[in-house]
Chains A and B, each alone.
Chain A
Amino acid sequence: GAVVSQHPSRVICKSGTSVKIECRSLDFQATTMFWYRQFPKKSLMLMATSNEGSKATYEQGVEKDKFLINHASLTLSTLTVTSAHPEDSSFYICSARDTRVVDTQYFGPGTRLTVL
């Protein structure tokens, strides 16, 4: 199956700092990637849709100035959590849309963010 990588897998940072998370599709081109957040024992929550070459589309309630998304190439999208606070601590997962056969998505392994 398709492979999506995510880096870093785990990050601990101080409150007020910014953290960048990378999402890469390794064996296919993805014009669309998605960023999710998941709190313990809860379902995935879509934060934003990342579109290659254009602005991201954010879900209601997600601050675009706090969660900066850049999709500069067909294989890379980045999410930057700016001025992180403890309540931003969560599991962040990206997915890349694969339209080669059946329109579906493959997920990266996730990034566990802890803000102290």
Chain B
Amino acid sequence: RKEVEQDPGPFNVPEGATVAFNCTYSNSASQSFFWYRQDCRKEPKLLMSVYSSGNEDGRFTAQLNRASQYISLLIRDSKLSDSATYLCVVNNRGSTLGRLYFGRGTQLTVWP
């Protein structure tokens, strides 16, 4: 079983739509959780960390459910510039030197 599983996508939504991505992780000892964004032919960039209490950054809201080992990302009022691949990422503190485990990514296309 993979460490991190994500919605396969792709998601194609109109501007202004609300879209949600889901992710599950297999290791209950996982400690840190992130959403990264990767544009085509570019490196991943940290979008936001995910905390147990949930956190919000502008139009982006991330939620963590430790009991269900489930992470989500909600994007409100989608913009064309939100088009990218969104990577769910988990850091298992017990793993070697902070290794990150990546989901395969969910592709989002926002159309005008």
Q: Name which residue of chain B comes closest to A102, CB basis.
A: B49
8 A Cβ contacts from B48-69 to A? 49
Cβ A103 vs Cβ B91 within 8 A? yes
Cβ B46 vs Cβ A43 within 8 A? no
Number of interface residues of A (CB under 8 A): 25
State which of A49, A104, A110 has its C-beta within 8 Å of the C-beta of B97: A49
Q: For chain B, which range describes its interface: under 10, 10 to 19, 20 to 34, or 35 or more residues? A: 20 to 34
Cβ A44 vs Cβ B102 within 8 A? yes
Query: Residues of A contacting B34 with CB < 8 Å?
Result: 104
CB distance from B43 to the nearest CB of A (A): 4
CB distance from A80 to the nearest CB of B (A): 20
Q: How far is the CA of A91 from the CA of B41 in the complex (A)?
A: 8
Query: Residues of A contacting B100 with CB < 8 Å?
Result: 34, 46, 95, 104-105
Q: How far is the CA of A43 from the CA of B42 in the complex (A)?
A: 12
- B64-104: CB near A (< 8 Å → 1, else 0) gives 00000000000000000000000100010100111110111
CB distance from A4 to the nearest CB of B (A): 9
